[in-house]
Amino acid sequence: MMKKITTNQQDDLLPEYNFDYTKARPNRFTTTSEKRGNSAMDKLEQYRNIVKKILTEYYEMSNNQTSKNSEFEVSERLAIDENRDQYIWFRFGWEDKKQIQHIIIYLTLKNGKVWVEEDATDLCIVDDLLSAGIPQNDIILGFHHPSKRVFTEFAKA
Amino acid sequence: MMKKITTNQQDDLLPEYNFDYTKARPNRFTTTSEKRGNSAMDKLEQYRNIVKKILTEYYEMSNNQTSKNSEFEVSERLAIDENRDQYIWFRFGWEDKKQIQHIIIYLTLKNGKVWVEEDATDLCIVDDLLSAGIPQNDIILGFHHPSKRVFTEFAKA
């Protein structure tokens, strides 16, 4: 019934952002969904699942490496709010006399796009988002100042 | 079957923390639950509802006052994760060339107690927690350095 749109934008993406597809862990974060309908809702749900999966995996990976210490010390925390589409992995706690609050990775979904609001890691989450099937024009590099986003190949908003 | 424990700890709480019960908005944040069972699960669910309700109300109150501006500017965000019991109200975004990340109020539930991990407001959330029925010995003032918590009438951990 609906006209099926078959764009193949994969080929003209990458000039500025050097994502080496040959090194990509193949579809590590893709959801189990088979070919589904094309509705915006499905897309949103798919993006949501990808974002949750990546962030949870990062968090668990990191927390397996660091030993669990006292309640009082700094620890990493994960907050996943699917209703408000807020996905935050952060450090919080007391380090000596100093209270630490530091966002490690922070993602949101807004208007059908994935915002990488903050990424203080070298985990290359954008690579993982791309490799999971989210196209470059649905990813916003929020950690860049708005004025700088126009110089990237990614979406501006 | 089970021995019913009826402690009345309300009377010997307050010396150090000057909570004026006469000024309390009566049960503004108490849940609609009637007398329920005494299980730890029920208590946890009750605390969870109180925490969600207070934080959401604060957030909405604050966001009704501030005008909605561009996507690019700093805005307040709310993340509620009931699975991990993380409840965060924070400011995030770009202010001129500077990226802002600042926790306004951050609550968690751990071991059946409510942790006020951070409170950068003058909203007196602890008063509202008390007035909603959470006893002082189930509230931890995480925003105080651990070494200082022993000097308060609240729980230490």
The tens-digit pLDDT sequence of chain A (157 residues) is: 444 444 444 444 444 555 555 555 555 566 554 455 568 889 999 999 999 999 999 999 998 776 555 555 789 999 999 999 999 999 999 988 899 999 999 999 999 999 999 999 999 999 999 999 999 999 999 999 888 888 888 988 7
Which CATH number among 3.30.310.110, 1.50.10.20, 3.20.20.70, 3.90.1150.10 corresponds to the domain B39-67+74-149? 3.30.310.110
CA–CA gap between residue A121 and residue B115 (Å, rounded): 28
Cβ-contact A74, B76 below 8 angstroms: no
Cβ-contact A36, A43 below 8 angstroms: no
Chain A residues near residue B103 by CB distance under 8 angstroms: 101
What does the pLDDT look like over B15-56, one tens digit per residue? 455 555 555 555 556 655 445 556 888 999 999 999 999 999
CA–CA gap between residue B42 and residue B36 (Å, rounded): 8
* SS (HEC) of B98-136: EEEEEEEEEEEEECCEEEEEEECCCCCHHHHHHHCCCCH
Which one is predicted more confidently, B94 or A30? B94
To test the contact with chain B by mutation, choose from A56, A88, A111, A117 the residue with the greatest count of B C-beta atoms within 10 A, namely: A88
Cβ-contact A61, A28 below 8 angstroms: no
Whether A78 sits inside 8 A of B97 (CB atoms) is no
The per-residue pLDDT for B13 is 44
Kindly list the domain boundaries of chain A, sorted by start residue: 38-67+74-149
* 3-state class (DSSP) for residue A89: strand
CA–CA gap between residue A82 and residue A84 (Å, rounded): 5
The per-residue pLDDT for A13 is 44
* Chain A: closest CA distance from residue B20 (Å): 29
The per-residue pLDDT for A6 is 44
A45 CB-contact burial (10 Å; exposed 0-12 / middle 13-18 / buried 19+)? middle
Q: Report the topology of domain A38-67+74-149.
A: TATA-Binding Protein (3.30.310)
User: Which residues share a beta bridge with A44?
Assistant: none
The token duo for B95 is: 């202010």
Averaged confidence pLDDT in chain B: 81
What does the pLDDT look like over B51-81, one tens digit per residue? 999 999 999 999 877 655 555 578 999 999 9
